[in-house]
Amino acid sequence: MKYVDQVQKLDIQSLMTKALKDAGTTQYSLTMRMDDWPQIKGQPDINLLTVDIELDQATSTTLAISGRMFLNFTTPDGQDLGQWLRIVGEPATKASRRWRVVWPDGERVRTLYFQPSVNQFSSRKGAGLKYRRKLSNRPRNRLQHHLRELGAACAYGFIPKPLWMPEAKYEHHLYGINKAQIRLLSKALNILPPDFYDEYEEVDLKTKIERVPLKDPQQLSMYCRDKRGTVQIKAKYLRKYGLPKDGAPDSATHLWFAVPKTAEK
């Protein structure tokens, strides 16, 4: 899987802004150079892109406009190819429009990416591309968060599981500590961190998301519903976050029991 900064991309909004100089017409033409296109010695114009646009209505109207766009380009191996696209421009303000490319499945995108496997421009999802993660101070903050939840002072050595924490959440925090350490070392060595494919997932908005049952052992939610349907905090989390001020914390040597203040007298 490649990143979006490794292939040629086209911003339809900026491309249409450059092409639509003469208002009131329905046909436009534009020639531009592609900066990220592979260069070949002896062929300085191989990165030229010719765009022909034909609209169904004039741009002077205040309604949505549909049309067609034809891209003519030369591949790195010397083939002259073309691609037809359907475009739609919806009014954004009184003097501008929001231009998008409409795919056969109804998806509308603003940016196109070149897909070398089929020698065509497509959407980021269709090309199988993803964004590159930027190095920041977030790994250090995430590491401190996981250590604080586990009650550990440092990330080295064995970290025992708190008594109140379920096994699934304990494994989740340990995995988060390992990822944060790897990213911190990558930043110190000035190298790109590895990919953690468990973090990025393309979500299909058309499909219905299935909820995990509240009694599922992998459920990380702090709340559940009782027999009456009332939302209640789980007992294991109530013990961790709902202790009174004079309550003793969890430990391996003693247990805490809630005693009403009236009984103490």
Residue 104 has which token pair?
Answer: 């056969």
If you search the block for the tokens 């925090």, which residue do you land on?
173
- Structural domain boundaries, residue 123: 4-127
Does residue 240 form part of some domain? no
More confident residue, 172 or 222: 172
Report d(CA 70, CA 151) in Å as an integer.
60
Q: Are residues 10 and 85 in the same domain?
A: yes
pLDDT digits (tens, 9 = 90+) for 57-88: 776 667 888 899 999 988 877 788 899 999 99
Which residues are CB-contacts of 38 (< 8 A; sequence separation ≥ 6)? 46, 47, 76
Do 194 and 87 belong together in one domain? no
Residues 31 and 141 in one domain: no
Give, rounded to a whole angstrom, the gap between the first and last alpha carbons of the chain.
68
Q: Tell me, what's the pLDDT at 174?
A: 92
**172 and 111, same structural domain?**
no
145 domain-assigned: yes
pTM (two decimals): 0.53
Least confident of 14-18, 162-166, 183-187: 162-166
The answer for residues whose C-beta is within 8 angstroms of residue 91's C-beta and 6 or more apart is 62, 63, 64, 97, 98
Same domain, 113 and 55: yes
Q: Tell me the mean pLDDT in the region 182-206.
A: 73
Question: pLDDT digits over 104-162, tens only?
Answer: 778 889 999 988 888 888 888 888 888 776 655 678 888 888 998 888 888 888 999 88
| Domain boundary residue, one of 127, 144, 179 | 127
